[in-house]
Protein backbone atom coordinates (compact mmCIF):
# COMPACT_ATOMS: atom_id res chain seq x y z
CA UNK A 1 0.00 0.00 0.00
CA UNK A 2 1.35 3.42 -0.90
CA UNK A 3 -0.01 6.97 -0.95
CA UNK A 4 -0.85 8.27 -4.36
CA UNK A 5 1.13 11.29 -5.59
CA UNK A 6 1.38 14.19 -5.23
CA UNK A 7 2.35 14.17 -1.57
CA UNK A 8 3.97 16.75 0.65
CA UNK A 9 4.15 14.47 3.69
CA UNK A 10 7.45 14.23 5.55
CA UNK A 11 9.58 11.33 4.37
CA UNK A 12 9.56 8.22 6.55
CA UNK A 13 12.96 8.95 8.06
CA UNK A 14 11.95 12.35 9.43
CA UNK A 15 11.16 12.54 13.11
CA UNK A 16 7.61 13.32 14.21
CA UNK A 17 6.72 14.59 17.71
CA UNK A 18 5.65 11.16 19.02
CA UNK A 19 8.50 9.20 17.43
CA UNK A 20 10.00 6.87 20.02
CA UNK A 21 6.67 6.36 21.80
CA UNK A 22 5.37 2.78 21.63
CA UNK A 23 1.60 2.35 22.00
CA UNK A 24 -0.08 -1.02 22.56
CA UNK A 25 -3.69 -0.94 21.39
CA UNK A 26 -5.61 -3.91 22.72
CA UNK A 27 -9.13 -2.53 22.24
CA UNK A 28 -11.90 -3.34 19.78
CA UNK A 29 -13.88 -1.13 17.41
CA UNK A 30 -13.30 2.64 17.73
CA UNK A 31 -13.59 4.07 21.22
CA UNK A 32 -9.97 4.00 22.40
CA UNK A 33 -8.37 2.47 19.29
CA UNK A 34 -9.04 5.72 17.41
CA UNK A 35 -6.81 7.44 19.98
CA UNK A 36 -4.02 5.06 19.00
CA UNK A 37 -4.58 5.88 15.33
CA UNK A 38 -4.15 9.58 16.05
CA UNK A 39 -0.92 8.97 17.96
CA UNK A 40 0.32 6.85 15.06
CA UNK A 41 -0.30 9.72 12.65
CA UNK A 42 2.16 11.82 14.63
CA UNK A 43 4.94 9.27 14.86
CA UNK A 44 4.11 6.78 17.62
CA UNK A 45 4.69 3.10 16.91
CA UNK A 46 1.29 1.46 17.38
CA UNK A 47 1.09 -2.29 17.98
CA UNK A 48 -2.48 -3.51 17.56
CA UNK A 49 -2.85 -6.64 19.72
CA UNK A 50 -5.66 -8.87 18.43
CA UNK A 51 -7.02 -12.35 19.01
CA UNK A 52 -5.16 -14.82 16.74
CA UNK A 53 -8.31 -16.17 15.09
CA UNK A 54 -10.96 -13.45 15.03
CA UNK A 55 -9.01 -10.23 15.37
CA UNK A 56 -10.69 -6.91 16.09
CA UNK A 57 -14.44 -7.10 15.19
CA UNK A 58 -13.90 -3.75 13.45
CA UNK A 59 -12.42 -5.78 10.61
CA UNK A 60 -15.96 -7.02 9.85
CA UNK A 61 -17.83 -3.79 10.62
CA UNK A 62 -18.98 -1.66 7.70
CA UNK A 63 -18.67 -2.16 3.97
CA UNK A 64 -16.83 -5.39 2.99
CA UNK A 65 -13.91 -5.39 0.55
CA UNK A 66 -12.11 -8.08 -1.42
CA UNK A 67 -9.76 -8.43 1.56
CA UNK A 68 -11.47 -10.96 3.80
CA UNK A 69 -10.11 -9.34 6.98
CA UNK A 70 -10.75 -5.69 6.11
CA UNK A 71 -13.88 -3.62 5.67
CA UNK A 72 -13.61 -0.02 4.50
CA UNK A 73 -14.09 1.05 8.13
CA UNK A 74 -11.09 -1.06 9.18
CA UNK A 75 -8.90 0.25 6.36
CA UNK A 76 -9.71 3.83 7.34
CA UNK A 77 -9.57 3.60 11.13
CA UNK A 78 -6.94 0.87 11.54
CA UNK A 79 -4.42 3.17 9.90
CA UNK A 80 -0.79 3.47 11.02
CA UNK A 81 -0.88 0.27 13.06
CA UNK A 82 0.96 -3.06 13.06
CA UNK A 83 -1.11 -6.13 13.89
CA UNK A 84 0.23 -8.52 16.55
CA UNK A 85 -1.81 -11.59 17.51
CA UNK A 86 -1.85 -12.75 21.15
CA UNK A 87 -4.56 -14.70 22.95
CA UNK A 88 -4.96 -12.91 26.29
CA UNK A 89 -7.26 -15.63 27.57
CA UNK A 90 -4.33 -18.04 27.79
CA UNK A 91 -1.74 -17.81 30.55
CA UNK A 92 1.21 -17.84 28.15
CA UNK A 93 -0.46 -15.11 26.13
CA UNK A 94 -0.70 -12.95 29.25
CA UNK A 95 3.01 -13.52 30.00
CA UNK A 96 3.98 -12.50 26.47
CA UNK A 97 1.72 -9.46 26.69
CA UNK A 98 3.37 -8.34 29.95
CA UNK A 99 6.79 -8.64 28.28
CA UNK A 100 5.49 -6.36 25.56
CA UNK A 101 4.09 -3.92 28.12
CA UNK A 102 7.51 -3.77 29.79
CA UNK A 103 8.89 -2.34 26.55
CA UNK A 104 6.04 0.06 25.80
CA UNK A 105 4.95 3.53 26.90
CA UNK A 106 1.17 3.52 26.50
CA UNK A 107 -1.56 0.88 26.70
CA UNK A 108 -5.03 1.57 25.30
CA UNK A 109 -7.95 -0.75 26.15
CA UNK A 110 -11.73 -0.46 25.95
CA UNK A 111 -13.08 -3.68 27.42
CA UNK A 112 -15.91 -3.75 29.91
CA UNK A 113 -14.47 -2.75 33.32
CA UNK A 114 -13.10 -5.77 35.14
CA UNK A 115 -12.24 -7.75 32.01
CA UNK A 116 -8.53 -6.94 32.05
CA UNK A 117 -8.43 -7.80 35.76
CA UNK A 118 -10.04 -11.17 35.04
CA UNK A 119 -7.19 -11.90 32.63
CA UNK A 120 -4.57 -10.97 35.23
CA UNK A 121 -3.87 -7.66 33.50
CA UNK A 122 -5.22 -5.14 35.98
CA UNK A 123 -3.44 -1.92 36.87
CA UNK A 124 -1.39 -3.53 39.62
CA UNK A 125 0.03 -6.20 37.30
CA UNK A 126 0.61 -3.70 34.50
CA UNK A 127 2.34 -1.23 36.84
CA UNK A 128 4.54 -4.00 38.22
CA UNK A 129 5.63 -4.86 34.67
CA UNK A 130 6.24 -1.20 33.80
CA UNK A 131 5.98 1.56 36.45
CA UNK A 132 6.16 4.21 33.71
CA UNK A 133 3.19 2.85 31.79
CA UNK A 134 0.36 5.20 30.84
CA UNK A 135 -2.96 3.35 30.50
CA UNK A 136 -5.99 4.75 28.67
CA UNK A 137 -9.19 2.96 29.64
CA UNK A 138 -12.28 3.84 27.58
CA UNK A 139 -15.64 2.26 28.41
CA UNK A 140 -19.31 3.07 28.08
CA UNK A 141 -19.81 4.34 31.63
CA UNK A 142 -16.28 4.64 33.04
CA UNK A 143 -14.40 2.45 35.51
CA UNK A 144 -16.49 3.44 38.55
CA UNK A 145 -20.14 4.02 39.38
CA UNK A 146 -23.22 1.77 39.48
CA UNK A 147 -23.39 1.36 35.68
CA UNK A 148 -19.73 0.54 35.15
CA UNK A 149 -20.35 -3.06 34.05
CA UNK A 150 -22.99 -2.20 31.46
CA UNK A 151 -22.18 -2.58 27.77
CA UNK A 152 -21.36 0.71 26.13
CA UNK A 153 -21.62 1.75 22.50
CA UNK A 154 -21.67 5.18 20.87
CA UNK A 155 -25.40 5.01 20.12
CA UNK A 156 -26.15 4.28 23.78
CA UNK A 157 -23.74 7.02 24.90
CA UNK A 158 -25.47 9.56 22.64
CA UNK A 159 -28.75 8.70 24.35
CA UNK A 160 -27.47 8.47 27.92
CA UNK A 161 -25.25 11.55 27.59
CA UNK A 162 -28.12 13.79 26.50
CA UNK A 163 -27.32 14.33 22.81
CA UNK A 164 -30.01 12.14 21.24
CA UNK A 165 -32.73 13.92 23.25
CA UNK A 166 -31.84 17.11 21.37
CA UNK A 167 -31.79 15.54 17.90
CA UNK A 168 -34.94 15.70 15.78
CA UNK A 169 -38.02 17.87 15.36
CA UNK A 170 -40.26 19.15 18.18
CA UNK A 171 -42.57 16.51 19.57
CA UNK A 172 -41.20 13.77 17.33
CA UNK A 173 -39.05 10.69 17.97
CA UNK A 174 -35.44 11.57 18.87
CA UNK A 175 -33.23 10.64 15.93
CA UNK A 176 -29.68 9.40 15.63
CA UNK A 177 -27.35 12.44 15.64
CA UNK A 178 -25.88 11.40 12.32
CA UNK A 179 -25.31 7.77 11.39
CA UNK A 180 -21.74 7.76 12.66
CA UNK A 181 -20.40 6.79 16.12
CA UNK A 182 -19.59 10.31 17.32
CA UNK A 183 -19.20 9.19 20.92
CA UNK A 184 -16.44 6.76 20.00
CA UNK A 185 -14.50 9.46 18.18
CA UNK A 186 -15.06 12.06 20.92
CA UNK A 187 -14.03 9.76 23.77
CA UNK A 188 -10.86 8.89 21.87
CA UNK A 189 -10.05 12.56 21.39
CA UNK A 190 -10.36 13.15 25.13
CA UNK A 191 -8.30 10.01 25.59
CA UNK A 192 -5.48 11.40 23.46
CA UNK A 193 -5.50 14.59 25.55
CA UNK A 194 -5.24 12.48 28.69
CA UNK A 195 -2.41 10.36 27.31
CA UNK A 196 -0.35 13.39 26.26
CA UNK A 197 -0.84 15.02 29.66
CA UNK A 198 0.11 11.75 31.39
CA UNK A 199 3.22 11.40 29.22
CA UNK A 200 4.25 14.90 30.29
CA UNK A 201 3.80 13.84 33.93
CA UNK A 202 5.74 10.65 33.20
CA UNK A 203 8.67 12.68 31.87
CA UNK A 204 8.80 14.72 35.07
CA UNK A 205 8.23 11.95 37.64
CA UNK A 206 9.00 8.64 35.95
CA UNK A 207 5.59 7.34 36.98
CA UNK A 208 2.67 6.22 34.87
CA UNK A 209 -1.04 6.54 35.59
CA UNK A 210 -4.52 5.55 34.38
CA UNK A 211 -6.79 7.73 32.24
CA UNK A 212 -10.47 6.81 32.72
CA UNK A 213 -12.91 8.02 30.01
CA UNK A 214 -16.60 7.12 29.82
CA UNK A 215 -17.98 7.46 26.30
CA UNK A 216 -21.13 9.15 27.62
CA UNK A 217 -18.95 11.72 29.44
CA UNK A 218 -17.31 12.79 26.19
CA UNK A 219 -20.78 13.27 24.68
CA UNK A 220 -22.14 15.16 27.69
CA UNK A 221 -19.15 17.51 27.75
CA UNK A 222 -20.10 18.83 24.29
CA UNK A 223 -23.59 20.03 25.23
CA UNK A 224 -22.74 23.71 25.87
CA UNK A 225 -24.98 25.41 28.49
CA UNK A 226 -27.72 22.84 29.04
CA UNK A 227 -26.43 21.80 32.49
CA UNK A 228 -26.14 25.39 33.69
CA UNK A 229 -29.57 26.30 32.29
CA UNK A 230 -31.24 23.40 34.07
CA UNK A 231 -29.32 23.91 37.30
CA UNK A 232 -30.21 27.60 37.53
CA UNK A 233 -33.63 27.80 35.90
CA UNK A 234 -34.92 24.24 35.57
CA UNK A 235 -34.96 24.71 31.80
CA UNK A 236 -34.99 21.50 29.73
CA UNK A 237 -33.89 22.11 26.15
CA UNK A 238 -36.09 20.24 23.70
CA UNK A 239 -35.67 19.14 20.11
CA UNK A 240 -35.65 22.06 17.70
CA UNK A 241 -35.30 20.43 14.30
CA UNK A 242 -32.80 22.16 12.05
CA UNK A 243 -32.98 25.44 13.96
CA UNK A 244 -31.54 26.82 17.18
CA UNK A 245 -33.18 28.36 20.22
CA UNK A 246 -30.49 31.05 20.46
CA UNK A 247 -30.79 32.57 16.99
CA UNK A 248 -33.03 32.94 13.94
CA UNK A 249 -32.69 32.36 11.03
CA UNK A 250 -30.29 29.59 11.97
CA UNK A 251 -30.86 26.32 10.16
CA UNK A 252 -31.13 24.44 6.87
CA UNK A 253 -33.15 25.66 3.91
CA UNK A 254 -34.12 23.95 0.64
CA UNK A 255 -33.13 25.69 -2.61
CA UNK A 256 -34.95 25.88 -5.95
CA UNK A 257 -32.76 23.10 -7.40
CA UNK A 258 -33.67 20.76 -4.50
CA UNK A 259 -30.41 21.16 -2.61
CA UNK A 260 -29.86 22.38 0.94
CA UNK A 261 -28.09 25.40 2.36
CA UNK A 262 -27.09 26.25 5.94
CA UNK A 263 -27.53 29.83 7.17
CA UNK A 264 -26.46 31.06 10.61
CA UNK A 265 -27.43 34.54 11.76
CA UNK A 266 -26.42 34.75 15.40
CA UNK A 267 -26.24 38.57 15.69
CA UNK A 268 -28.27 41.57 14.55
CA UNK A 269 -25.45 42.58 12.21
CA UNK A 270 -25.50 39.20 10.50
CA UNK A 271 -29.25 39.43 10.01
CA UNK A 272 -28.85 42.91 8.56
CA UNK A 273 -26.42 41.49 6.00
CA UNK A 274 -28.85 38.69 5.16
CA UNK A 275 -31.67 41.20 4.67
CA UNK A 276 -29.44 43.10 2.24
CA UNK A 277 -28.61 39.88 0.39
CA UNK A 278 -32.34 39.20 0.13
CA UNK A 279 -32.90 42.79 -1.12
CA UNK A 280 -35.29 43.26 1.78
CA UNK A 281 -33.30 45.65 3.98
CA UNK A 282 -36.45 46.80 5.76
CA UNK A 283 -36.56 43.45 7.59
CA UNK A 284 -33.56 44.52 9.65
CA UNK A 285 -35.15 47.70 10.99
CA UNK A 286 -36.03 47.96 14.67
CA UNK A 287 -39.70 48.13 13.77
CA UNK A 288 -39.55 44.66 12.28
CA UNK A 289 -36.85 42.04 12.99
CA UNK A 290 -33.65 44.04 13.47
CA UNK A 291 -33.50 43.10 17.17
CA UNK A 292 -32.63 39.53 18.17
CA UNK A 293 -35.40 39.35 20.74
CA UNK A 294 -38.03 40.37 18.19
CA UNK A 295 -36.72 37.79 15.72
CA UNK A 296 -36.86 35.04 18.30
CA UNK A 297 -40.41 36.01 19.24
CA UNK A 298 -41.37 35.86 15.56
CA UNK A 299 -39.32 32.78 14.74
CA UNK A 300 -41.87 31.15 12.45
CA UNK A 301 -42.51 34.32 10.44
CA UNK A 302 -38.79 35.05 9.98
CA UNK A 303 -38.01 31.49 8.98
CA UNK A 304 -40.87 31.49 6.48
CA UNK A 305 -39.51 34.63 4.80
CA UNK A 306 -36.10 32.98 4.45
CA UNK A 307 -37.64 29.69 3.28
CA UNK A 308 -39.46 31.47 0.48
CA UNK A 309 -36.41 33.48 -0.58
CA UNK A 310 -34.04 30.51 -0.59
CA UNK A 311 -36.64 28.40 -2.37
CA UNK A 312 -36.78 30.89 -5.24
CA UNK A 313 -33.07 30.53 -6.04
CA UNK A 314 -30.59 27.80 -6.86
CA UNK A 315 -27.99 26.80 -4.29
CA UNK A 316 -25.22 28.56 -6.20
CA UNK A 317 -27.31 31.74 -6.41
CA UNK A 318 -27.98 31.73 -2.66
CA UNK A 319 -24.30 31.14 -1.97
CA UNK A 320 -23.22 33.94 -4.27
CA UNK A 321 -25.61 36.51 -2.79
CA UNK A 322 -24.91 35.57 0.83
CA UNK A 323 -21.14 35.42 0.42
CA UNK A 324 -21.18 38.79 -1.32
CA UNK A 325 -22.75 40.30 1.83
CA UNK A 326 -20.60 38.20 4.21
CA UNK A 327 -23.53 36.22 5.55
CA UNK A 328 -22.46 32.98 7.29
CA UNK A 329 -23.60 30.37 4.77
CA UNK A 330 -22.52 26.95 3.56
CA UNK A 331 -23.64 24.00 1.49
CA UNK A 332 -25.16 21.02 3.27
CA UNK A 333 -22.72 18.60 1.68
CA UNK A 334 -23.21 14.97 0.80
CA UNK A 335 -20.04 12.91 0.50
CA UNK A 336 -20.35 13.31 -3.29
CA UNK A 337 -20.31 17.09 -2.81
CA UNK A 338 -17.26 16.79 -0.57
CA UNK A 339 -15.30 14.83 -3.18
CA UNK A 340 -15.94 17.60 -5.73
CA UNK A 341 -15.39 20.58 -3.45
CA UNK A 342 -12.35 22.72 -4.25
CA UNK A 343 -11.72 23.60 -0.60
CA UNK A 344 -11.50 19.96 0.50
CA UNK A 345 -9.08 19.44 -2.38
CA UNK A 346 -6.96 22.48 -1.56
CA UNK A 347 -6.72 21.55 2.12
CA UNK A 348 -5.77 17.96 1.32
CA UNK A 349 -8.65 16.58 3.40
CA UNK A 350 -8.95 13.46 1.24
CA UNK A 351 -6.00 11.08 1.46
CA UNK A 352 -5.72 8.67 -1.46
CA UNK A 353 -3.97 5.31 -1.26
CA UNK A 354 -3.39 2.49 -3.70
CA UNK A 355 -4.29 -0.66 -1.80
CA UNK A 356 -3.20 -3.98 -3.29
CA UNK A 357 -6.14 -5.88 -4.73
CA UNK A 358 -8.58 -3.04 -4.06
CA UNK A 359 -7.37 -0.09 -6.11
CA UNK A 360 -7.64 3.47 -4.86
CA UNK A 361 -8.97 3.87 -1.32
CA UNK A 362 -9.84 7.37 -0.10
CA UNK A 363 -9.87 8.15 3.63
CA UNK A 364 -10.05 11.34 5.72
CA UNK A 365 -6.62 12.91 6.03
CA UNK A 366 -4.77 13.77 9.24
CA UNK A 367 -6.20 16.43 11.57
CA UNK A 368 -4.86 18.81 12.86
CA UNK A 369 -2.37 20.33 10.43
CA UNK A 370 0.97 21.20 12.00
CA UNK A 371 3.25 23.59 10.15
CA UNK A 372 6.61 22.07 11.19
CA UNK A 373 5.74 18.45 11.96
CA UNK A 374 2.61 17.46 10.01
CA UNK A 375 1.25 14.02 10.70
CA UNK A 376 1.15 11.29 8.09
CA UNK A 377 -0.59 8.06 7.20
CA UNK A 378 1.94 5.29 6.64
CA UNK A 379 -0.55 2.46 6.05
CA UNK A 380 -4.23 1.70 6.11
CA UNK A 381 -5.67 -1.00 8.40
CA UNK A 382 -3.14 -3.88 8.36
CA UNK A 383 -3.74 -7.56 7.63
CA UNK A 384 -4.34 -9.64 10.76
CA UNK A 385 -1.04 -10.57 12.42
CA UNK A 386 1.17 -8.84 9.85
CA UNK A 387 3.75 -7.87 12.49
CA UNK A 388 3.47 -10.78 14.92
CA UNK A 389 6.73 -12.45 13.91
CA UNK A 390 8.62 -9.12 13.80
CA UNK A 391 7.52 -8.16 17.31
CA UNK A 392 8.05 -11.60 18.83
CA UNK A 393 11.45 -12.15 17.25
CA UNK A 394 13.00 -8.69 17.19
CA UNK A 395 11.38 -6.88 20.11
CA UNK A 396 10.74 -9.70 22.59
CA UNK A 397 13.69 -11.94 21.61
CA UNK A 398 11.54 -15.05 21.28
CA UNK A 399 13.21 -17.76 19.20
CA UNK A 400 11.85 -18.89 15.85
CA UNK A 401 11.20 -22.38 17.25
CA UNK A 402 9.26 -20.96 20.18
CA UNK A 403 7.24 -18.74 17.84
CA UNK A 404 6.29 -21.82 15.82
CA UNK A 405 5.19 -23.60 19.01
CA UNK A 406 3.13 -20.60 20.11
CA UNK A 407 1.44 -20.52 16.71
CA UNK A 408 0.65 -24.23 16.85
CA UNK A 409 -1.07 -23.74 20.21
CA UNK A 410 -2.90 -20.64 18.89
CA UNK A 411 -1.38 -18.48 21.62
CA UNK A 412 -0.23 -16.06 18.93
**How confident is the model over 314-358, as pLDDT tens digits?**
999 999 999 999 999 999 999 999 999 999 999 999 999 999 999
CA 59/CA 67 separation, integer angstroms = 10
pLDDT classification of 7: cutoffs 50, 70, 90: very low
Which CA distances in Å does 370 have to 173, 355, 373?
Answer: 42, 26, 6
| Run of H or E residues at 251 | strand 250-254
Q: Residues 25, 69, 105, 184: which is the catalytic one?
A: 184
Residue 184: active-site member: yes
Domains, the chain, ordered by start: 2-222+345-408 (3.40.50.10540), 250-254+260-331 (3.30.1540.10)
pLDDT classification of 6: cutoffs 50, 70, 90: very low
pLDDT of residue 2 exceeding 70, the answer is no
Look at residues 216, 228, 86 and name the one whose alpha carbon lies nearest to residue 154: 216
Starting at the earlier edge strand, list the strands of the sheet with 209-214: 82-85, 45-50, 22-25, 106-109, 134-139, 209-214
Which CA distances in Å does 213 have to 41, 113, 120, 199?
Answer: 22, 11, 21, 17
CA 97/CA 93 separation, integer angstroms = 6
In this structure, what is the dihedral angle of CA atoms 216, 193, 77, 344, given to the nearest 10 degrees?
100
At residue 142, the pLDDT reads: 98
Asked if residue 357 lies in contact with residue 55, where contact means CB atoms within 8 angstroms, the answer is no
pLDDT (tens digit per residue) in 184-233: 999 999 999 999 999 999 999 999 999 999 999 999 999 999 999 999 99
Reported pTM: 0.93
Amino acid sequence: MKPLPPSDRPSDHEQLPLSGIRVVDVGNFLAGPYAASIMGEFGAEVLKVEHPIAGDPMRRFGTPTKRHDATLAWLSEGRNKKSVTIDLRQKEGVQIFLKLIAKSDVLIENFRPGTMEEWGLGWEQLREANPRLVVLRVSGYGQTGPYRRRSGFAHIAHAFGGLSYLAGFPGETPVLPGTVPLGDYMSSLYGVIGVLVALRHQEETGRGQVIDVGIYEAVFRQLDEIAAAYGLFGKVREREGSGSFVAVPHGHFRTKDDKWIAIACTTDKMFERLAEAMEQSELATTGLYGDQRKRLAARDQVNQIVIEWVGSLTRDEVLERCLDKEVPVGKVNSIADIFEDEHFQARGNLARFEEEGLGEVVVPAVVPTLSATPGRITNLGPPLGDATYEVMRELLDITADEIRRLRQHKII
